[in-house]
Amino acid sequence: MGKRYFGTDGIRGRVGEHPITAEFVLKLGWAVGRALQTRGFNKVVIGKDTRISGYMFESALEAGLSAAGVNVALLGPMPTPGIAYLTRTLHACAGIVVSASHNPYYDNGIKFFSRDGQKLPDAVETRIEDLIEQPLTTVEPDALGKAERIVDAAGRYIEFCKSTVPAYTSLAGMKIVVDCANGATYHIAPDVFDELGATVIPLSATPNGLNINLDCGSTRPANLRAAVLEQNADLGIAFDGDGDRVIMVDQRGEVLDGDELLFIITRDRLRSGSRFGAVVGTLMSNLGLELALRALGLDLLRAKVGDRYVMERLLAENLILGGENSGHIICLDRTTTGDGIVSALQVLAAMLHTGRSLHELKAGMSKYPQIMINVSVTGEVDLHRPPIVEAIRAIEAQLGDTGRVLLRPSGTEPVVRVMVEGADTSTVERHARELAGIVRDTLSA
């Protein structure tokens, strides 16, 4: 039986519509407290991004946890990976993130970290869902949970980020544009790069509760590209609303996605003497990444789309590097989860190690044209209907060994993602449009 509320990355939806309501989140906080508190671990940390509904859901979670007898440490606006880090260092039984990542302000979500700073196992999520269906009961008044605000949370996380590169690392002489997506990195990322010596030009770093991810950040790099060229900067860095994704722009204004950044980090790890036989990507990882890794003597292992599945494969195979082309990059030799700031620092370290520009570093990988079209859907999605299956077979036959076709429902949005990849851009675009139309017509029939 599938889970009722949890998707691939927590619980997410439009604010005010079930389950993203104050009433449900209150019950959710209580259920999490009941499911996760153990002897010696009776504290949960709560952090959020900058969307206006975060105030409401932070308070609802606090009330539910208190009713379950669990203490709360409030972090305020904090990148998702920062919450994972502080969950571990504050010895909490769980970390809660109030964020809808790259979605607009009118969406929000709740996701969780276990006490070791990793995503909750499926069994724990199922246990939480079972508790949600039970009546909310309040512990005795003398056992209610207390709340405290961690006033130095940002400073603690900034120091951690800097610790993931060698102590002698200096970015002096670098001019960097940093796009914070008006999100959770706005008061952290610029300081990290500034304290390492870079000249930092902040972009989209004035959140007002409504402008998170609005025409900015890792999903909208046009402003970053323009600023890099206008400022004659060495590079640009863009995060998403909760700071676990990163993309970069080189000095020519060319965008580097997660696949290219993962390749740069991987090659630098090999240069520094790290030993591993494979890197974990996803079904969406570019064929060019697979070929470039093969040239380095490494395999690309493909997991399902979603950073939790990348993490599962990394742990199962005892590997250290993995990621998604969207910019989720996991460096398990540095931290426990995908971290945009930490990943960007690893790329900057590679530039310093080699003395090469970002544009030069990406030259070792040639991306294959990859077109993805989102097809809006409602209700149940059946991608095994004959017209869709027949169309996929026909396109795969034409692409042969030099291309791929992938259809998958999004875990975070009501869309089906239609991806076609191949050696020729015009052919790929034509096939993607054709297949997206067939998917749209078939699912709407």
Query: What digits encode the pLDDT tens for the residues 202-229?
Result: 999 999 999 999 999 999 999 999 999 9
Alpha-carbon span 389 to 378, nearest angstrom = 20
At residue 164, the pLDDT reads 98
- Please report which confidence band the pLDDT of residue 40 belongs to, taking 50, 70 and 90 as the band edges: low
Residue 402 — very low, low, confident or very high, per pLDDT cuts 50/70/90?
confident
Write down the residue that tokens 């039986």 correspond to.
1
In one-letter notation, the amino acid at residue 399 is: L
Of 200, 115, 198, 195, residue with least CA distance to 163: 195
Quick one: pLDDT at residue 400? 87
| Secondary element (H or E) of residue 113 | strand 107-114
Q: Which string of DSSP letters, residue by residue, matches 240-273?
A: -TTSSBEEEEETTS-EE-HHHHHHHHHHHHHHTT
pLDDT in tens, 409-420: 887 678 999 999
pLDDT range class, residue 39, cuts 50, 70, 90: low
| Domain formed by 370-444, architecture | 2-Layer Sandwich (3.30)
Superfamily per CATH, domain 11-151: Alpha-D-Glucose-1,6-Bisphosphate, subunit A, domain 3 (3.40.120.10)
Residues 6+ apart with CB under 8 A from 59: none
Q: Is the dihedral of CA 76, 238, 414, 330 positive or negative?
A: negative
Degrees (nearest 5) of the Cα angle 184, 190, 192? 100
CATH of 257-364, one of 3.20.20.70, 3.40.640.10, 3.20.20.80, 3.40.120.10: 3.40.120.10
Tokens standing for 283?
């079904």
Q: For residue 146, give the amino acid letter.
A: K
Q: What is the pLDDT of residue 1?
A: 52
pLDDT in the model for residue 401: 80
Contact status, residue 51 vs residue 212, Cβ threshold 8 Å: yes
How far is the C-alpha of 212 from the C-alpha of 203, rounded, in Å? 12
Q: Residue type at 244?
A: D
Taking each helix axis as running N to C, give the angle between helix 22-36 and helix 54-67, from 0 to 180 degrees, rounded to the nearest 10. 40
101 is catalytic: yes
Helix, strand or coil for residue 177?
strand
Does the pLDDT at position 37 exceed 70?
yes
Cis peptide before 19 (omega within 30 of 0): yes
| Average confidence (pLDDT) over 403-412 | 86
Q: Which of 101, 114, 204, 326 is catalytic?
A: 101
Domains 11-151 and 170-254 alike in fold:
yes
Q: Domains of the chain: which residue ranges?
A: 11-151, 170-254, 257-364, 370-444
Tokens 């017209």 identify what position? Answer: 387
- 281-335: per-residue pLDDT in tens? 999 999 999 999 999 999 999 999 889 899 999 999 999 999 999 999 999 999 9
State the average pLDDT for the chain.
95
Distance CA 98, CA 102 (A): 13
* φ, ψ dihedrals at 390, nearest 5°: -65, -40
Instruction: Count CA atoms within 13 Å of residue 262 on its CB side.
Output: 35
CB 157, CB 87: distance < 8 Å: no
Structural fold of domain 170-254: Alpha-D-Glucose-1,6-Bisphosphate; Chain A, domain 3 (3.40.120)
**Half-sphere exposure in the Cβ direction for 412 (13 Å, CA):** 17
- For 126-137, write each residue's pLDDT tens digit: 999 999 999 999
Of 103-107, 204-208, 441-445, minimum mean pLDDT range: 441-445
What mean pLDDT comes out for the span 439-444? Answer: 92
For residue 117, pLDDT over 70 is answered with: yes
Q: Please give the DSSP secondary-structure letter assigned to residue 119.
A: B
Residue 438 has pLDDT above 60, yes or no: yes
Confidence of residue 444 (pLDDT cuts 50, 70, 90): confident
Q: Decide if pLDDT at 231 tops 80.
A: yes
| pLDDT at residue 445, rounded to an integer | 76
Residue % of the chain over a pLDDT of 70: 99
Is the Cβ–Cβ distance between 379 and 284 less than 8 Å?
Answer: no
CA Rg value for the chain: 22
- Contact predicate 324/372, CB 8 Å: no
> Cβ(42)–Cβ(71) under 8 Å?
yes
- For 370-381, write each residue's pLDDT tens digit: 999 999 998 788
168-180 residue pLDDT tens: 999 999 999 999 9
Of the candidates 391, 393, 403, which has an alpha carbon nearest to the alpha carbon of residue 433? Answer: 391
Q: Which of 220, 204, 300 is nearest to 255 (CA)?
A: 220
Proportion of the chain above pLDDT 90, given as a percent: 89
